[in-house]
Amino acid sequence: MSAALPIAAPGIQPSSGVLMPVTSLPSDFGIGDLGPAAYDFADALAENDQQVWQVLPVNPTDAGTGNCPYSAMSAFAGETSLISPELLVKDGYLSPKVLKKMPAFAQGTIDYDLVAKSRVRLFDRLLKETKGLKGDPRFEDFCQGNQVWLEDYARFAVFRRHFKNRAWQEWPKGLVRRDSSVIEKWSRKLSKEIARERMLQFVFSDQWARLREHCAGNRVRLFGDVPLYVQGNSADAWASRSLFHMSDEGWVYTVSGTPPDAFSKTGQRWGHPTYRWDQHEKDRFSWWLNRLGRNRELFDHVRLDHFQGLVRFWDVPGSDATAENGKWVDAPADRFLKSAFATFPDLSLIAEDLGNEMQSLAPIMERFGIPGMRVLQYGFGGGADNPHALENLSAKAVVYTGTHDNVPTRAWFGSIDRETRVSFDQHYDSRTTEQNVARRMVEMGLNSPAFMAIAPVQDVLNLGAEAAINHPSTVHGNWRWRMTPNQLDALLEHPWLRQATRDSGRSG
């Protein structure tokens, strides 16, 4: 059994692309969205002979977790701030006058609070003008086709807002325990707001489908990102708590994390509720299969973040403040993946296999034909067996200059120690500088054996530390960087990328 990408088969055309979060696109409305700039970015990729656009997770984020896309409030729903106001006007849902009443936003960064406030007013207007799309057959089909998650999410989002963003464990007891009569009573009381959430999920999905169609017309494939876990304060945990290590009242027994290592004596306590894999297996992995099916509607390729957790996971007592008292627990990766590929034979799954457990994941990835990740910034030093070193790369990998968790390559090069610099010079020469290192690293990835080469847009544009999108182990101040309109224009002025891609044989 193999994934949709037969990575070891002869004749498979190597490809390349750019990592660019949708939120980081330029726009006049405070955050990147699915409007004109997204179409322009897809066009710029095609102009540069790139075939892949990788994005970060697009599920609803939460200000309480610093708007981190890896700690979403739903594994199925879309982030509605990505809905394009301009397309709402173009589609006839709103008058152009509405856009003129939106606040002025700064370019180059995201003010999440201001974006959220502006979207409340915009979407309230949308509900009023469209009457919630009642009677629209496309909307009705969407609701019917997504009933497995849509109603629970719409109710969760509205109840949460009504109770002033308190965790669902602190709602009225009848809602916490999911008493059907209590849920129906509150649903009738808040029916207008729930209708609004259903409508917004339809609009998000409709705008996304049209963008994906445009990308396909440009021979650009969308590469999505699926976090392994969801947060405890999520629609999934509220609606399906039996699938998590949680009590009936929603209190978490065990949470996710990583064990102590050289970087942290107490390990890392991530805090997501861990899965009750016995329950998932008893239910024939239906929640996970529905989740994969939803992501296949959005993406051509799917990266599963923290793939390690499918094989075995670090289980931390929920009452502990650190992760040092956790223990390793096996997960049914083999049985789950058999079910996944039997259900979706063309599933293109890519594993985030970074970290100390990389070697232990190799057998199951090999068995299912799942490629992993290699990061060139990690490839200098560490001995001859460093899996990220250029000479150790194979076709069974997606190679990156860096990821969303790395600083841009230009900034990385300016901070490396002498040993790493000596190792780097062995691959190139001492003429490499902070000004040209990003381009050289992108070319290194393009010319590697990896079947897919991805560069963050920051490296394509030769940006520095100011363009970092995330600083791991910090909660606030991340996920705010945005490309400026001039930087988007500059993507069309990079003939070196197009030429380097053609020279590497990745143009198709």
> Per mean pLDDT, which range of 156-165, 404-413, 422-431, 435-444 is the poorest?
422-431
Q: What is the pTM of this model?
A: 0.96
Least confident residue range of 63-72, 158-167, 403-412 = 63-72
- What pLDDT shows up at residue 384? 86
State the chain's mean pLDDT as an integer.
94
Q: What is the largest CA-CA distance in the chain?
A: 72
- Least confident range from 2-6, 115-119, 215-219: namely 2-6
Query: Which of the following is catalytic: 28, 324, 334, 405?
Result: 405
Distance of CA 112 to the CA centre of its chain: 18
* More confidently predicted of 178 and 1: 178
Q: How far apart are the first and last CA of the chain?
A: 26
pLDDT higher than threshold 80 for residue 4: no
Whole-number percent of the chain with pLDDT over 70: 97
Q: Among 79, 236, 315, 352, which one carries the catalytic annotation? A: 352
The Cα 358–Cα 385 span in angstroms is 13
Catalytic residue flag (residue 405): yes
Q: Which residue in this structure is represented by tokens 């979060």?
A: 21
**Residue 492: left if φ>0, alpha if ψ -120 to 50, beta else—which one?**
alpha
Copy the structure tokens of residue 409.
């390559």
Q: Report pLDDT for 5.
A: 42
CA gap 453, 435 in Å, rounded: 21
Average pLDDT of span 160-178: 97
Task: Convert the pLDDT of each residue in 196-224 to its tens digit.
Answer: 999 999 999 999 999 999 999 999 999 99
Tally Cβ neighbours within 10 Å of residue 276. 17
The strand order across the sheet containing 52-54 reads 349-351, 301-304, 221-226, 52-54, 15-19, 452-456, 397-400, 372-375
pLDDT band at 98 (very low <50, low <70, confident <90, very high): very high
What is the average per-residue pLDDT within 423-445?
A: 89
- Of 193, 197, 300, 305, catalytic: 305
Q: Regarding beta strands 268-273 and 52-54, do their DSSP bridges make them parallel or antiparallel, or are they unpaired?
A: unpaired
| pLDDT > 90? residue 455 | yes
Q: Confirm whether 352 is a catalytic residue.
A: yes
Residues 149 and 77: their CA atoms lie apart, in Å, by 8
| Paired sense of beta strands 372-375 and 452-456, if any | unpaired
User: At 260, phi and psi to the nearest 5?
Assistant: -55, 145
> Which of 184-191's residues contact partners 24+ apart within 8 Å by CB, and which partners?
186/155, 186/159, 186/162, 187/155, 190/158, 190/159, 190/162
Indicate the pairing of strand 52-54 with strand 397-400: unpaired
* Sequence-separated (6 or more) residues with CB below 8 Å from residue 486: none
For residues 403, 24, 452 and 220, what is the CA-based torsion angle, rounded to 10 degrees? 170
Q: Is the pLDDT of residue 2 over 60?
A: no
Q: Range with the lowest mean pLDDT among 125-129, 329-333, 418-422?
A: 418-422
**Rounded mean pLDDT, 239-257:** 96
Tokens found for residue 300 = 């051509």
Helix residue spans in 388-432 (DSSP H)? 409-415, 418-427
**What is the tens place of the pLDDT at every residue in 7-59?**
434 446 899 999 999 999 999 999 999 999 999 999 999 999 999 999 999 99
**What's the whole-number mean pLDDT along residues 313-329?**
97
State the pLDDT at residue 10: 40
Share of the chain above pLDDT 90, in %: 87
Which pair of structure tokens corresponds to residue 27?
A: 């726009």
Choose the weakest-confidence range: 132-136, 350-354, 435-439. Answer: 132-136
Residue 375: DSSP 8-state: E
Cα–Cα distance between 150 and 165 in angstroms, integer?
19
Q: What is the pLDDT of residue 12?
A: 61
Q: Taking residues 333-343, report their average pLDDT.
A: 98
pLDDT value at 158 more than 60: yes
Give residue-wise pLDDT tens across range 266-306.
Answer: 999 999 999 999 999 999 999 999 999 999 999 999 999 99
The two tokens of residue 75 are 């594994």
Contacts of 346 (CB under 8 A, 6+ apart): 4
| SS (HEC) of 425-480 | HHHCCCCCCCCCHHHHHHHHHHCCCCCEEEEEHHHHCCCCHHHCCCCCCCCCCCCC
Residue 204: left if φ>0, alpha if ψ -120 to 50, beta else—which one?
A: alpha
Mean pLDDT of 376-401: 93
Instruction: Yes or no: say if 358 and 387 are a contact pair by the CB < 8 Å rule.
Output: yes
pLDDT tops 80 at residue 447 = yes
Do residues 209 and 138 lie in contact, with contact meaning Cβ atoms separated by under 8 Å?
no
The yes-or-no answer on residue 111 being catalytic is no
Look at residue 441 and tell me whether its pLDDT is greater than 60. yes
| Cα–Cα distance, 258 to 435 (Å, whole number) | 36
Six-digit token string for 65: 């977790």
